Amino acid sequence: WIMPFTVMLVFIPNLVVAYVVAVSSGLSVAASLLLPWSMLPDVVDDFRLANPHCKGYEAIFYSFYVFFTKFAAGISLGVSTLCLEFAGYDTGACRQPAQVAYTLKLLIGAAPVAFIVTGLLILLLYPISEDVRLRNKLCLEELRKQGSISSRTLEDLSNA
C-alpha cells in the first residue's frame, strides 16, 4: 500500500493526498512492524525442529532481529544526513536549494519504495510456507506430549 501512495505524495502535492498517504502509510508501517514479529516464532520453531539438541537459542533470534533493526535505522539516519549534506542543506536557513527538495523527495519516496520492493522480493524466498508451519506445529505438539526429543522421533514426525 505504501509504495503507490508515497510516489503519489511526491508527484501530487495536495493536502487531501497527504492525508490519504498518511493513513495508508500508517497501515503499511504497522504491517511492516508486526509481520516480522509474527514470522519470528515460526523461524524459531523451525530451527528447534531442525536442531533438536540445541536449546536456549530463542533469545539469540529475537536479539539479532532487534539489533539489526536498530542498526538499519541508525545507518539510514546517517545516510540521509550525508545525502542532505551533499545536497547543500543548511540547518539555519529558511529557504533551501532545489537540490535539497529533490533529495528529500528521493529519501521519502524512491528510496523506501526500492527497499520495500527488494524486501518483498527477498520474502518470496521465505522457506516456511503454511504447510511447513502446520507440520512444525504438529511436530512440536507431539514432542511436548512425549516430553523428550530424539533424532529418531523428529525423523518419524517429519515423514508423517
State pLDDT tens for residues 96-113: 999 999 999 999 888 988
DSSP for 69-87, please give it.
Answer: HHHHHHHHHHHHHHHHHHH
- Looking at the fold, whether 38 and 83 belong to one and the same domain comes out as yes
Determine the pLDDT at residue 3.
67
- Looking at the fold, whether 138 and 110 belong to one and the same domain comes out as no
- Looking at the fold, whether 124 and 136 belong to one and the same domain comes out as no
- Looking at the fold, whether 9 and 70 belong to one and the same domain comes out as yes
- Looking at the fold, whether 69 and 119 belong to one and the same domain comes out as yes
Domain span at residue 57 reads 2-128
- Looking at the fold, whether 22 and 52 belong to one and the same domain comes out as yes
- Looking at the fold, whether 55 and 75 belong to one and the same domain comes out as yes
Determine the pLDDT at residue 15.
76
- Looking at the fold, whether 115 and 83 belong to one and the same domain comes out as yes
- Looking at the fold, whether 15 and 72 belong to one and the same domain comes out as yes
Determine the pLDDT at residue 135.
95
- Looking at the fold, whether 102 and 154 belong to one and the same domain comes out as no
Determine the pLDDT at residue 18.
74
The count of structural domains within the chain is: 2
Counting as low any pLDDT under 70, the low residues of the chain are: 1-6, 8-9, 148-160
Residues 6+ away with beta carbon under 8 Å from 136 = 42, 45, 46, 49, 128
- Looking at the fold, whether 116 and 149 belong to one and the same domain comes out as no
Residue found under cell 524459531: 44
